[in-house]
Amino acid sequence: MFQRTIFLVLFFLLASLITINPTHAIRSFPERVGFSISHQFSEAPEYTNGFSCPVLGGDSFPKTCDPSLVHIAMTIDSEYLRGTIAAVHSVLKHASCPENSFFHFIASDSSPVSSEDLTRVVRSTFPSLSFRVYQFKESLVRHLISSSIRQALDNPLNYARSYLADLLDSCVERVIYLDSDVIVVDDIAKLWRITLSGSRVIGAPEYCHANFTKYFSNGFWADTEMSRVFEGKSACYFNTGVMVMDLVRWREGDYTRTIESWMEIQKEKRIYELGSLPPFLLVFGGDVEPIHHRWNQHGLGGDNVVNSCRSLHPGPVSLLHWSGKGKPWSRLDLGEACLVDFLWRPYDLYRHNDHHLHHHHHQHNLQLLDVL
């Protein structure tokens, strides 16, 4: 009932937008990256800690080792930069202790935009943010990647999440991994504090209604040696775009190598069609801490069909995820936005030339999201 009201409001908002000719808003974003890159985004408002926040130690060296920090890892590249910036903005806006978040941005060492330039963008957009940009060596995985059903999934940077335990300082014991096409609309500390029971290494929302069989080939299921990996487990599908990872247990179990060995098997025998996800299912399927579904309202990018829009799943929402082919920033720029894309828009810090148009709707959306 509550959601139906929101959708009704959203519908009228969309209707009012359609009357505006959006052609002047169309531009190719990646082409402009590299040129005065740090001026492409507006500075975010300053978000500060509440009184009850744990005080950062000050003595910890490096600063990343402070036990009061909430660690968040994301990839950063020119293509999804606008998404990454919006996601960070959303985390800070809704965090009870925004100053206690530390962002670990993973950039490709083969990126056309240098990590210095990416650092400059983040610094100018979020002047007081605690963060570090890491260089991910694409050569680590390039030889392990076999082509998947969607070219975007073959980007080596998609595999960076398997290397966080190596990349991040060993004093970082837990990290939240987030895809660049998400918006957090709740206090990230709630996700940070979940318990990973027993010896569980990762936590993520599970989808046990999805037919797990179809994520692997018939050949895989026919091979008793391989399919034994799921023996005695009731493995469910989960999405790797939002994960809480225990890096201590990860390092102990050397799961990066296990993932790599499945990728080697894939190269030889082709046991799945998707990109970086199936190795995670193989290693952790059936042993994932099930997080509430509110933390990954996935699929908002729509099916891999042009113009397919998805609505929110029933239930509360803490994180919106535009997984799938359609991304809110490109649909908005093209004037082909889905309703859910207007929930992403208030977090967008990309500088549009037409400030009037942008700010007008910005206000409306902020109010909508506060209702949500």
Ligand X SMILES: *[C@@H]1O[C@H](CO)[C@@H](O)[C@H](O)[C@H]1NC(C)=O
Residues near ligand X, by CB under 6 A: 211, 213-214
Least gap, CB of 216 to ligand X (angstroms): 9
User: Smaller CB distance to ligand X: residue 119 or 217?
Assistant: 217
Least gap, CB of 223 to ligand X (angstroms): 15
Residue with CB nearest ligand X?
211
Least gap, CB of 220 to ligand X (angstroms): 11
Distance between CA atoms of residues 184 and 35, nearest Å: 29
User: Smaller CB distance to ligand X: residue 227 or 256?
Assistant: 227
**Maximal C-alpha separation, the chain:** 62
User: Smaller CB distance to ligand X: residue 3 or 217?
Assistant: 217
User: Smaller CB distance to ligand X: residue 36 or 211?
Assistant: 211
Q: Note whether 279 and 262 are within 8 A (CB).
A: yes
Residue 331 vs residues 26, 73, 179, 306, 322: alpha-carbon distances, Å: 10, 26, 18, 10, 11
User: Smaller CB distance to ligand X: residue 214 or 360?
Assistant: 214
Q: Note whether 188 and 229 are within 8 A (CB).
A: no
User: Smaller CB distance to ligand X: residue 211 or 224?
Assistant: 211
Residue 252 vs residues 257, 287, 367: alpha-carbon distances, Å: 11, 16, 46
User: Smaller CB distance to ligand X: residue 5 or 213?
Assistant: 213
Peptide bond into 67 cis (omega under 30): no
User: Smaller CB distance to ligand X: residue 214 or 351?
Assistant: 214
Closest by Cα among 122, 56, 113, 137 to 89: 122
Q: Note whether 258 and 202 are within 8 A (CB).
A: no
User: Smaller CB distance to ligand X: residue 269 or 358?
Assistant: 269
Least gap, CB of 234 to ligand X (angstroms): 14
Strands of the sheet containing 130-136, edge to edge, are 130-136, 101-108, 70-75, 174-178, 242-246, 202-204, 289-290
Least gap, CB of 218 to ligand X (angstroms): 8
Distance between CA atoms of residues 258 and 282, nearest Å: 9
Least gap, CB of 229 to ligand X (angstroms): 18
Cross-strand partners of 350: 41
Least gap, CB of 74 to ligand X (angstroms): 33
Residue 36 vs residues 23, 119, 123: alpha-carbon distances, Å: 24, 13, 14
Could you give the 3-state DSSP secondary structure of residue 365? Answer: helix
**Which residue reads 């670990």 in tokens?**
104
Torsion of the alpha carbons at 167, 262, 178 and 67, rounded to the nearest 10 = -40
User: Smaller CB distance to ligand X: residue 29 or 207?
Assistant: 207
Reading the block at residue 180, the tokens are 């660049």
Closest by Cα among 182, 205, 180, 184 to 194: 205
User: At 289, which helix (H) or strand (E)?
Assistant: strand 289-290
